[in-house]
Structure 1
Amino acid sequence: MITWRRGEVLAVRREWRGAVELTVRQVDGDTDGGAGGASGAPEFRALAYPELVGRPEVGDTVLLNTTAQTMGLGTGGYALVTAIPDRLPADPERGPGHLVKGRYTPLQAVVLGVDEQDSPHHAVLRDADDLDAMPVVIADLHSALPAVCAGVRAVRPEARIAYVMTDGGALPAWFSMTVSALRDADWIVGTVTTGQAMGGDLEAVTVHSGLLAARQVLRADIAVVTQGPGNLGTDTRWGFSGVAAGEAVNAAAALGGRAVAALRISDADPRERHQGVSHHSLTAYGRVALAAADVVVPDLDEPLASQLAADVATLRARHRVVTVPVDGLDEALRTTPVKLSTMGRGLDEDHAHFVASAAAGRHAAALLPPPASP
């Protein structure tokens, strides 16, 4: 189930919040899966999370999980550092926190939950039960996050946006260069990692407690809920991680939030099931979501407009289908502090995908009360 290799760190390539990217040369084991270096031994792009394994330095021996390379999986092309065996990090100071994430795996980690008894926010969250009608934008793919933020900022640049990360894709929030860049640019006020996801500014057990933390602790005006980078799918009706988008609609509604459903739309995806409105959105919002949401349809040109109208027809029985104008959204999308990309396609290659997410952000911003007078 896991392909193990031992490697030597040749270079530190770059760093972002919570992650270090390395060049590592394999020093033992089979030679499949890596590009050969000058010595003939395979070299890998590798990723280390210092909070879990310590910070690797040039010359360190590292243990690697190279399963993704061996199987050709789309996990960013990285070997993952699992240990620095000759230079283990010092034991962390014993402190508050008893939430275990990555439970019963070799890299299980104890974190301080935002709402647990030792948290400074426990008193606020102990009986918290209401989002005060906060708009909650829900999307299938992580690539929607910066586009939603761009749509919000096009209307209400001062709005406080929190990211609530589910565990359907990457589990460490540190994997996401997008989250790091959005945080550095003050486009989001913080990340709440929920379920088995970890590494956010706040840690929560469920999407429900994560949404409450976004509202009550981060003081968010708008929350965006989507999985981390990556997406699991099996080309079946129900076997995909985006099913959780429908469950997030239910969570937002249960807590008195205003669920805003961002559609996964594409006119560039070669797979028929993802053309127009993806079956991921139709299943998650049409079958899993039992509460009503504002389903946002971007007002696009023909022939895509007619296709979208037909695709969402079945959602009207349960949801409020809202058509949102897209004027100015292209310009807003081009201001994002990250490079927009979905399934390897950028803004110009899959324009409808990003505009649909930005339209959801625009609609969520329109639901906010007017800004206070100066």
Structure 2
Amino acid sequence: MIRIRKGIVKSLLSQRPGITELLVEVEGETQRGVNYDRLTGPINTGDEVILNTTAVFKNLGTGGAHFVMGNLSNPQMDISEEGHIMKVRYSPCQVKVLSLEEADSPYTSIMQQAEGLEGTPVIVGGLHSMIAPVAAALKKLGQGQLRVAYLMSDAAALPIALSKLVYELKEKGLIHATITCGHAFGGDYEAINLYTGLLAAKAVARADVIIAAMGPGIVGSNSTFGFTGIEQAEMINAINLLGGKAVAIPRISFTDSRERHMGISHHSRTVLGKVALTKATVTLPKVEADKMQQLLKQCEDSGISSKHDIAVIDAEAALAALAEYDIKVTTMGRSVHQDREFFLAAGAAGVYVSSLVQAY
């Protein structure tokens, strides 16, 4: 069920392509709201709006804002004629896109001929925040010569506009193109599924390196397979099927209070040790001896070591690059200084691939 209320827009807080953040008065209180401009049109102070208030009512962290479902002060919108692929299909929010694969696309012939990744490295993350240290390392160590594409899946947020991080990385030249696949939408290019998304990153976006990960808002549980990051295994399989070089980022933390996420998270142990059917290079950050011993033992006990190649990488350069480019990123509310190993683990993949690409 959706909890629906009427509200009045009190002020606009910020705008970036595809999204407006605002304050809205609803049920006698002023609270934060989000308007997706591609879905519900432009919005202004004083507009009367229909709101999905479910997440705030449930006190959720993920999606913890009111979302505009309709603007009663400006209720009618028109769409462009080209394209006929629908995303978020058969819902009140279904949105038409011009997909790369369809006949109206200027890239139809390219996509029809694209059949493989030709060894292109694809760095696969299980959380959205991982893309920042990866991109920073690629920019710094690649001396700005590597063209990087980000492929966003539909395992979390669907509108890419929600991600302030992607907007910042693009503005600072760390990511050069974005592709949204499945029901995710709003990227520079739209793809129907993971496979054509990967192919488009290579053939259309002309990426030297691809970063593949969900958008903001992973869903998890205390069960073995009940988390959306399990898609990381499916991505590894797709990359290998298409002839790419899969590089997997393990989720690592020595700060998380939950035992199942200490060291290598149970998410990564499940994905890499049980679900992935094909091989990846799993990059571990070089850390203190006792922590390193725990990580290597977890790799051995979970089956990661027997299924994948392990590369231990000095990833300090990635954190230095984050600071140099002034990118402030958090994971589960924790900063780089508060959860250092998490960001080192992601950065290790960027450092590894930078050296890999430069070797050719």
TM-score range, shorter chain: over 0.9
Deviations 1:129-157 (A, max 9, x none): 11110000001000001111112223203
1:309 partner SS: helix
1:208 & 1:65 partners in 2: Cα distance?
33
1:329 partner SS: helix
- Aligned twin of 2:192: 205
CA contact (8 A) 2:85 2:96 kept: yes
1:69 & 1:76 partners in 2: Cα distance?
8
Deviations 1:170-201 (A, max 9, x none): 01101100111111111111111011111111
- Aligned twin of 2:312: 323
Among 331, 334, 337, the alignment partner of 1:345 is: 334
1:336 & 1:281 partners in 2: Cα distance?
28
1:312 partner SS: helix
CA contact (8 A) 2:133 2:319 kept: no
- Aligned twin of 2:256: 269
Note the 1:294-313 alignment, pairs <5 A: 294-313=281-300
- Aligned twin of 1:3: 3
- Aligned twin of 1:360: 349
- Aligned twin of 2:77: 90
User: Structure 1 unaligned runs (5+)?
Assistant: 32-40
2:279 & 2:140 partners in 1: Cα distance?
26
Deviations 1:333-367 (A, max 9, x none): 21345311000000100010001100011111222
Paired residue total? 357
1:360 & 1:119 partners in 2: Cα distance?
33
Note the 1:138-157 alignment, pairs <5 A: 138-156=124-142, 157=144
1:178 & 1:326 partners in 2: Cα distance?
21
Note the 1:98-113 alignment, pairs <5 A: 98-113=84-99
Give 1:369 shift: 4.5
CA contact (8 A) 1:154 1:362 kept: no
Note the 1:137-216 alignment, pairs <5 A: 137-156=123-142, 157-216=144-203
Deviations 1:290-327 (A, max 9, x none): 11100101111132111111111121211111111224
1:78 aligned onto 2:65: yes
- Aligned twin of 1:240: 227
Query: Structure 1 segments of 4 or more deviating over 2 A?
Result: 326-330, 335-338
* RMSD, aligned α-carbons: 1.3
Give 1:7 shift: 0.5
More helix by share: 2
1:349 partner SS: coil
Report the TM-score, using the length of structure 2 for normalisation: 0.96
User: Structure 2 unaligned runs (5+)?
Assistant: none
Identity of aligned residues (%): 38
Report the TM-score, using the length of structure 1 for normalisation: 0.93
2:325 & 2:215 partners in 1: Cα distance?
18
1:145 & 1:122 partners in 2: Cα distance?
29
CA contact (8 A) 1:185 1:337 kept: no
Give 1:370 shift: 4.8
